[in-house]
Amino acid sequence: MKRRTYMYLSCGIVLLMMSMQYFVFAEENKPAASSTTSSTTKTEIPAAEPIPATSPTTNTLKIGVLAKSGTEEGVKMWTGLANYLTIKVPSHTFEITPLAFNEVHLAVRRRAIDFILINPKFYTELETLYGLGRIATLNNKLTQGRTHSMFGSVIFSNSSRKELRNYQDLKSRSFMAVDRLSFGGWQMALCELKHHQIEPSKFFSGISFGRTHDAVVYAVRDGLVDAGTVRTDTLERMAEEGKIKLEDFFILNARQYNDFPLFLSTELYPEWSFARTPKVPDKLATQVSIALMQMPPDDPAAVSSKSAGWVVPHNYQKVEDCVKELGTEGEMSLGGVKLGDFSSDNLILSYWCWIIVTLLVLILGIMVIMRD
């Protein structure tokens, strides 16, 4: 009887391990993963799905937007842009489709959107994988009426923590970023730390992800973590909105550029890109591009998005260099399981069968033990 018990338990453990491997394999091969690979491994990326017969001829065009501050805030910020393009581009209606970090690749691969507004790291991936073409680069509105089409990342601690004043002070401390796929909210800082010979997975006592930039700021302010990173302009905007006080934070490795007035810890990279998907005709893409370039800084669309309009597309080589330098570290893994993996409902839906079989075997083994 004991032999049978051991057999059931062994089978349950084996099935559980296999399920875990499938979870990890699924995440590593999702389209939302980085296209950068190491010299010894290669991730197969699914090809774009066929274009639906009705997509190119529909008058309603969808603009996918990376909702870095959440779905509601994303729609609020960019609906003005959709309204502006609806007025400027005849015979077409534009709509905003907010996308979470792990939905960006899937939306493009499934051809569920026509245009997309994303961070530069996502753009360089999607350009290579699915043939996106950049139309314009965001011109961000900064403090004191200044504008800039470049941005960076801020690494910061609570100003009351006098013992945390440089990167080395963060050794064995807790750290929070926005999302492992966030360029300004994680990967810029990751590249910066690497320049200082710091391996985050070994250096910090723990790394967590707040999912939004505001959440990271609050976590550092409230002492939930020792330090964190967000994109430039986050702290200043939150202070203007009365959410925080700037004196509550200390900027680590503070940098200064003559024409960049915001807190900064890293190098500067091109701002977000507005891009077309392959199914958008050249004529329509040209109309949208011209409309974006003609948007005045005081247009309601620019005001609601806290920007100053758009500029001609930047060169994103600097972004590609950072991504290549990070390699697979941009998709940081601890013990083979990536941080934040188990927040995905899609994984549970996709592998419910393995989960149920594993639980049944374990329950059967427990029943045999109790009967003995």
Q: What is the CATH number of the domain that holds 186?
A: 3.40.190.10
Instruction: Output the pLDDT for position 41.
Output: 34
Share of the chain above pLDDT 90, in %: 67
Is 370 among the domain residues? no
- What CA–CA distance (Å, rounded) separates 118 from 137? 10
Number of domains observed in the structure of the chain: 2
Residue 276 has pLDDT above 80, yes or no: yes
**277-314 residue pLDDT tens:** 999 999 999 999 999 999 999 999 999 999 999 999 99
Q: If pLDDT is split at 50, 70 and 90, which confidence band does 16 have?
A: low
Is 126 among the domain residues? yes
* Residue among 227, 231, 288, 222 nearest 262 (CA): 231
Q: If pLDDT is split at 50, 70 and 90, which confidence band does 348 have?
A: very low
**150-193 residue pLDDT tens:** 999 999 999 999 999 999 999 999 999 999 989 999 999 999 99
Residues 141 and 169 in one domain: no
Last residue of a domain, one of 251, 283, 317: 251
**Mean pLDDT computed over every residue of the chain:** 82
Residues 121 and 165 in one domain: no
Residues 74 and 213 in one domain: no
Last residue of a domain, one of 251, 283, 314: 251
**131-148 residue pLDDT tens:** 999 999 999 988 777 899
Average pLDDT over residues 97-126: 95
Is 14 among the domain residues? no
Is 362 among the domain residues? no
Residues 211 and 69 in one domain: no
Residue 371 has pLDDT above 90, yes or no: no
Q: If pLDDT is split at 50, 70 and 90, which confidence band does 330 have?
A: low
Residues 173 and 225 in one domain: yes
Please give the residue range of the domain that contains residue 106: 59-147+271-325
**198-207 residue pLDDT tens:** 999 999 999 9
- The 8 Å CB, 24+ separation contacts for 214-220 are 214/69, 214/238, 214/243, 215/178, 216/176, 216/177, 216/178, 216/185, 217/244, 217/249, 218/244, 219/176, 220/156, 220/157, 220/158, 220/176, 220/249
For the chain, report the end-to-end CA distance as a whole number of angstroms. Answer: 8
């941009």: which residue's tokens? 330
